[in-house]
Structure formats: structure tokens, C-alpha cells
Structure 1
Amino acid sequence: MEIKIKIDKRNKQAKGFYEYLKTLPFIELEETRYNKKTEKAIKEAKSGKASKISLADFRKQIL
């Protein structure tokens, strides 16, 4: 069984709860550093799905 919980670690009680969860042997915590779109882009770049372009070419695309 898998349960997903979002914890706002800026709250003192929530941070304490998070620290407690980390001590439990049957709990696996998965933290994301960025939002979902950014995480997806990072995974694509690491897997080779992204391509390299020069800065000049990039500027032409966005302007």
C-alpha cells in the first residue's frame, strides 16, 4: 500500500512530524526539489531526450 502525504515543513509541528517519520523503518520518503514540470525536464535531460543548442540559436527561438 502506498500513501502520499504533503507536509509543509515551514510549520514547526509539521517539521517535527516529518522528522519522526524519517525514524520509522517502514517509511520511505521521497522528496522533490522542484515542481513536477521541472523534475520531468531534469529526467528527460539526464536520459538523453533533450538536445544541446547554442545560446544564439536559443535566443532566436524565443524571440
Structure 2
Amino acid sequence: MKVLLEIPDHKASSLMDVLNSIPYVKTKTIKEPKEILIAEIKEAVEEMKLIKQGKLKGIPARQMLDEL
């Protein structure tokens, strides 16, 4: 499972220390806006795959547009 977290800079160091101390957790720091965009696109693609496989429920495009 992949998780993208947004953490205030002044609190990130302590959380990263905790995560890095767990042997089965891999961490990667994303700082550049381009890297953030790429990570978000990858997450969206993974969600689309899960929706197509029936493992995740999608919402109709009209409903999504109405929420905007």
C-alpha cells in the first residue's frame, strides 16, 4: 500500500524518524512540485485500476462535477 502524507515541515522530522525505524516501511521524501504531481498522478492511476477491477467503488463524473 502506498500512502502520501502532507506534514508541516516543522513536524516532519520526528515523524520520519519514527517511520524510518520501522523495518517494513519504506519512505521517500517528495519536495519538488513536479514530484508531488507525479506522485498524485500515479495514485490516481492506481485508483483507476482498482475501480476497473471492482475492488474500489468510483463515482459518476456528473456527481464529481456537481461537487465542484
Q: TM-score range by the shorter chain?
A: 0.3 to 0.5
Larger Rg: 1
Structure richer in helix, relative to its length: 2
> TM-score under structure 1 normalisation?
0.41
